[in-house]
Amino acid sequence: MLSIQSLRKTFIARDGTRVNAIDGVSLDVEQGKLLTLLGPSGCGKTTTLRCVAGLERPDSGLIDIGGRRVYDSAGKVLVPANQRGIGMVFQSYAIWPHMTVFENVAFPLRVAKDRKYGREEVAAKVNRALDMVRLGGFGDRAATQLSGGQQQRLALARGLVRAPSLLLLDEPLSNLDAKLREQMRFELKRLQLELGITTLYVTHDQSEALALSDEIAVLNAGKVIQRGNPHDIYHRPNCEFVADFIGSTNMVEGTVEGAVGADGKARVRTAQGHIVCTFAQTIGAGSPAEVIIRPEDVVVSASGSGENTLAGRIANRIFLGELIDYEIAVGSQTFRVRSRPDWDFSIGSAVALRLPPEKCIGLPRPAAGSPEARAHHEAG
Amino acid sequence: MSAGNDAAFGTSNTLAARLAVWLSPGRLLLFLGVAIGVWLVFVPLGTLVYISFSKDTMLGPGPATISNFIDAYSARGIPQLIGNSLVFASGTAILTLLMGGGIAWVVERTDAPWRDTFHLLALMSFAIPGLLTTMAWALILSPNIGWGNGLLKSWFGLSEAPFNIYSMGGMIWALSSHYFPLAYLLMGPAFRVLDIRMEEAAVVSGAGNWQVATRVTMPLLRPAILSTLLLLFVRGIESFEVPRLLGMPARIHVMTTEIQHATASAPPKFGIAAALGIGLLLLCVLGVYLYRKATANAEAFATVTGKGYQPTPIRLGGWRWPVAAIVALSFFINLGLPLVTLLWQSFFSTIAAPSIEALRKASLENYHFLIGYPVFRTALKNSALLGVLAATCVTALAFMMAWVAQRMMKKQGWMLDAIAFTPIAIPSVIVGASILFAYLVIPLPVYNTIWILLIAYVTMYLPYGMRFASGGLVQIHRELEEVAEVSGASLGETFRRVLLPLLAPVLVASWLYVFVLAVRELAASIFLAGPGTQVLGTISLTMWEEGGSFGAVCALGVIQVVPLVVIVFIMRRIERAVRVER
């Protein structure tokens, strides 16, 4: 449905250096699916979205929407934004304050070039769009009278009114407060499923991405770092950056001891002891590696020993109601551990940390000083 | 929206074909606007430099020379001349700041009564043409004919007039009473955004009132004070009306009057005038440069901290009424006295002090005379027409330049901004003089028509239009336009349906503002107006200087003031509407 190939765009930064805003991004989204571009600010996700919308002109690459070529640097094709027939919701909502709710939604129909919409047809379509986002009956209100959440839904109705083949959402929830954001997450998911509309979603919020997406593309420094469904992205990050960006993580550096077994497991020697972990890729014995484990995957107990069990001391704790966050000192390192509230330990008590081998992800670590290591460092 | 996105490459990829597609009529129009703006600013500047380095001949500029500078700056009176300009400008800046800043403090920071009225009065004072205020002060404080002096003499039994308006002090006073609203308008926002919590934090830390004022409030206000002083200084040094009316009779010459004098002498000394003009221009450029530096730094002092900010007024308690009375008195003196004087004098053909017995001689004779006076009718028509045209052109050009600068040329936009702002540093006298020189040479048939006046007005007021347009456009989130584009709207539809309705209040305010300035213009017009192209400012000056028709000049002033006051009320309404919307 949407296909992006080798998209590139550079900006000249203030200090005169060239910055690769998009550095060879290739993506495709199947009909009816929702793909999220996830990454920190400045990773190129919004620029990519704006290139798809036609608001930004890439330097090179290809963009197809619904089989129609809208951008091709080689074939000299650049379809302007107002002829791409897409729906879009902006971060600021961009609700026109001088129009009513109805007029805001009716705008795309009123400026349509391919056909003229009669008065009744406009009314019918606008009202249907407003009903869809649960703003039915709000048509006569001044757009500025709406609350933040309502404005957000109004922006969505405006994006949907033409029944576009592609919907672009640019951080649509970031201006809402936490509670409303959670509510709108469900709303968006419902709408997207109901309408089966192909959607490209941009956000820096990992929980939003995990909650809404069929697929996630994690971007950093203009490149797609990892692509996959939410489950894989969360549980099988392919690098420290992804692991760290999607949820918090503990990272232990070490060296691989012995070959990776048929089950993908290998022992890694670290300053805190040996850790058996799961590697997704083959790695030779003696290679530098890092072990990644999520705070909620660490099991804390009063005592214990054996494989993948480390001794530590509670350095700090925060009680959060449904769970407890600990900082646990293990040797020279501090682990973050998220535990059930009944595993309650006071500050200073000695504990045992069990790291389940299937939850410990082993990743190759670039040698210090190598170009990869430096890129790695900057990315983090 | 980057430069290329609403245009297709098309199937052909030759440069010309692509350019043809990209240059839609809308874009072409925009570029035309930008080109005109750039032309308007560069022609007078270029001409000024060219003339100043050319030998004067009877047939226009001759061979290159630097003798103009040598002659101009080695003349006997030159230190005195520059000294007068500096004293006049600094004196005005300081007095104006004290008056306007004080009122701004009362209106923005205290709970004194009548604050809304004071704001309106300040706007009104600004709308009254400086020429009229100056004439009124001459009628009040002239040592011979001033009724104010007469009144004081009889009250206190003085044998000599206590005040002489024809002096440096008188000049400073007259200009300050015209410009103090400018200081008010510049200082007002600074007081408004000053976060009271910063002062509260000082109080909580144990500081006394004096310490709060000197260690917190004043340092926070310093950028605003400095920038206001600099702008007022520039305004003062380029002021023409006051030195012409009050300084010349007292032989206190300043640079602006000297430049005008050089071009009006026989034979005209254009080279000398241009050389003096360069000096004046450099002074103004320096002032504006320092001003912009001060305001750029002011951002580091930005004290509004987002949401929930609610300025709390200072409670004056028992001082509420006395403070309000002092401000009211200052408006009575600065606005009331001149207006009353104009109105009163307009009913008499000879100099008349306000008194009951004089009333018997009051008549509408002056108004009858004016209505039947063809020169007046032509000037009124010209001024009104020029006001409308200048306001329309400035607003349209500034809007186009601001849009292109902000939306199409993200990187180079500052250059357009800078170009449009340049005339703020060019004194009106220089605009007038250099346009006069320029269009003697440039083969455009505008000489001795009202079009040459229009060119001057649009040049001078472009910065104000730009300020409105640019400020308004910044407030409009780009996404409001982008979403229209994505929704399928063409550039024209986006302008018509989204941008213009949103910007309407700002554009109307800009239009009215420029109209007010254009109708009362004198300093540039005096170079460019000729028979049949006189404007209200130039005929007022002529009638005044010929003497004998003070009453008629005052009637002319009244006729000008009435519509200007109406416009101020309209602007105030717009200002309110805009404020409510945000």
Q: Is the Cβ of B581 closer than 8 Å to some Cβ of chain A?
A: yes
Select from B1, B5, B6 the residue whose CB has the most chain A CBs within 10 Å, as the one to mutate to test that interface.
B5
Q: Over the stretch A234-247, which tens digit does the pLDDT of each residue have?
A: 988 888 889 888 88
**Residue B488: pLDDT over 50:** yes
| pLDDT for the residue numbered A78 | 87
Q: What is the ipTM of this complex?
A: 0.78
Contacts of B501 in chain A (CB under 8 A): 98
Tell me the three state secondary structure of residue B193.
Answer: helix
Contacts of B480 in chain A (CB under 8 A): 94, 96
Q: Is the Cβ of B486 closer than 8 Å to some Cβ of chain A?
A: yes
A82 contacts B487? CB cut-off 8 A:
yes
- Rounded to a whole number of angstroms, the distance from the CA of A97 to the nearest CA of chain B is 8
Among candidates A53, A92, A112 on the partner chain, residue whose Cβ is nearest the Cβ of B486: A53
Give me the total of CB pairs closer than 8 Å, taking one residue from chain A and one from chain B.
99
The β-bridge relationship of strands A166-170 and A198-203 is: parallel
Nearest CA in chain A to B8: A78
pTM (whole model) above 0.90: no
Are the C-beta atoms of A1 and A85 separated by less than 8 Å?
no
State which of B26-35, B58-67, B449-458 shows the largest mean pLDDT. Answer: B449-458
Dihedral sign, Cα of residue B558, residue B559, residue B562, residue B565 = negative
d(CA B47, CA B99) in angstroms, rounded, equals 39
Q: Is the Cβ of B480 closer than 8 Å to some Cβ of chain A?
A: yes
A79 contacts B5? CB cut-off 8 A:
no
- Rounded to a whole number of angstroms, the distance from the CA of B303 to the nearest CA of chain A is 23
Q: Which amino acid is at A203?
A: T
Nearest CA in chain B to A158: B487
> B581: pLDDT confidence band, cut at 50, 70 and 90?
very low
B411 contacts A88? CB cut-off 8 A:
no
**What are the residues whose beta carbons fall under 8 Å from the beta carbon of B208, sequence distance 6 or more?**
none
User: What mean pLDDT is predicted for residues B306-328?
Assistant: 74
A84 contacts B486? CB cut-off 8 A:
yes
B7 contacts A96? CB cut-off 8 A:
no
Nearest CA in chain B to A167: B486
- Paired tokens of B285: 């450029």
State in Å, rounded, how far the first CA of chain A is from the last one.
33
Least confident among B23-27, B33-37, B153-157, B334-338: B23-27
**What are the residues whose beta carbons fall under 8 Å from the beta carbon of B167, sequence distance 6 or more?**
B246, B250, B252
Q: Which amino acid is at A135?
A: L
Contacts of B10 in chain A (CB under 8 A): 76
- Rounded to a whole number of angstroms, the distance from the CA of B164 to the nearest CA of chain A is 56
**What are the residues whose beta carbons fall under 8 Å from the beta carbon of A312, sequence distance 6 or more?**
A328, A329, A330, A335, A350, A351, A352, A353
Contacts of A96 in chain B (CB under 8 A): 480, 484, 498, 502
State in Å, rounded, how far the first CA of chain B is from the last one.
25
A57 contacts B4? CB cut-off 8 A:
yes
Exposed, middle or buried by CB within 10 Å (0-12, 13-18, 19+), for B15? exposed
d(CA A222, CA B6) in angstroms, rounded, equals 24
| pLDDT for the residue numbered B8 | 41
| pLDDT for the residue numbered B3 | 39
d(CA B462, CA B421) in angstroms, rounded, equals 7
Tell me the three state secondary structure of residue A279.
Answer: strand
Contacts of A13 in chain B (CB under 8 A): none
| pLDDT for the residue numbered B300 | 46
Name which of B461, B459, B462, B454 is nearest B533 in CA terms.
Answer: B454
Q: What part of B 39-68 touches A (C-beta under 8 Å)?
A: none
* Per-residue 3-state assignment (H helix, E strand, C coil) for B58-76: CCEEEEECCHHHHHHHHCC
B6 contacts A94? CB cut-off 8 A:
no
Contacts of B579 in chain A (CB under 8 A): none
**Residue B579: pLDDT over 50:** yes
B7 contacts A55? CB cut-off 8 A:
no
Provide DSSP, A129-180.
HHHHTT-TT-TTSBGGGS-HHHHHHHHHHHHHTT--SEEEEESTTTTS-HHH
Q: Over the stretch B222-240, which tens digit does the pLDDT of each residue have?
A: 878 888 888 899 889 989 9
Q: Over the stretch B442-452, which tens digit does the pLDDT of each residue have?
A: 888 888 899 99
- Rounded to a whole number of angstroms, the distance from the CA of B476 to the nearest CA of chain A is 10
**Residue B28: pLDDT over 90:** no
- Paired tokens of B371: 């209505």
- Paired tokens of B582: 């945000």
Nearest CA in chain A to B412: A14
Among candidates A85, A90, A111 on the partner chain, residue whose Cβ is nearest the Cβ of B479: A90
Q: Is the Cβ of B359 closer than 8 Å to some Cβ of chain A?
A: no
> B333: pLDDT confidence band, cut at 50, 70 and 90?
very high
Q: Is the Cβ of B488 closer than 8 Å to some Cβ of chain A?
A: yes
Among candidates A91, A111, A144 on the partner chain, residue whose Cβ is nearest the Cβ of B493: A111
Average pLDDT, chain B: 84
| pLDDT for the residue numbered B4 | 39
Name which of A172, A147, A13 is nearest A89 in CA terms.
Answer: A172
CA distances from B376 to B140, B228, B304 (A): 25, 37, 50
In chain A, which stretches have pLDDT less than 70?
Answer: 367-380
Q: Is the Cβ of B507 closer than 8 Å to some Cβ of chain A?
A: no
Nearest CA in chain A to B499: A96
| pLDDT for the residue numbered A378 | 46
Phi and psi angles of residue B510, each rounded to the nearest 5 degrees, phi first: -60, -45
Angle between helices B413-421 and B25-52 (to 10 degrees): 50
User: What mean pLDDT is predicted for residues B167-187?
Assistant: 91
Are the C-beta atoms of B8 and A77 separated by less than 8 Å?
yes
B6 contacts A82? CB cut-off 8 A:
yes
Q: Is the Cβ of B498 closer than 8 Å to some Cβ of chain A?
A: yes
| pLDDT for the residue numbered B5 | 39
Tell me the three state secondary structure of residue B132.
Answer: helix
B1 contacts A78? CB cut-off 8 A:
no
d(CA A291, CA A289) in angstroms, rounded, equals 7
Q: How distant is the alpha carbon of residue B2 from its chain centre? A: 35
Q: Over the stretch B90-104, which tens digit does the pLDDT of each residue have?
A: 999 999 999 999 999
> B395: pLDDT confidence band, cut at 50, 70 and 90?
very high
Are the C-beta atoms of A172 and A156 separated by less than 8 Å?
yes
- Paired tokens of B43: 């022609």
d(CA A130, CA A145) in angstroms, rounded, equals 16
Which helix or strand (DSSP H or E) is residue A118 part of?
Answer: none
Dihedral sign, Cα of residue B461, residue B465, residue B471, residue B473 = negative
Contacts of B2 in chain A (CB under 8 A): 55-57
Among candidates B5, B483, B489 on the partner chain, residue whose Cβ is nearest the Cβ of A57: B5
Say which DSSP state A326 is in.
E
B8 contacts A79? CB cut-off 8 A:
yes
Contacts of B486 in chain A (CB under 8 A): 53-55, 81-82, 84, 86-88, 168
Are the C-beta atoms of A26 and A7 separated by less than 8 Å?
yes
Q: Which amino acid is at B285?
A: V
Say which DSSP state B110 is in.
B
| pLDDT for the residue numbered B26 | 67
Least confident among A366-375, B132-141, B268-277, B428-437: A366-375
Name which of B355, B338, B352 is nearest B145 in CA terms.
Answer: B352
Q: Over the stretch B120-151, which tens digit does the pLDDT of each residue have?
A: 898 888 888 889 999 999 999 998 888 888 88
Name which of A303, A293, A312 is nearest A355 in CA terms.
Answer: A293
CA distances from B441 to A38, B280, B437, B459 (A): 63, 23, 7, 18
**Residue B578: pLDDT over 70:** no
B7 contacts A56? CB cut-off 8 A:
no
Are the C-beta atoms of B578 and B505 separated by less than 8 Å?
yes
Least confident among B113-117, B341-345, B547-551: B547-551
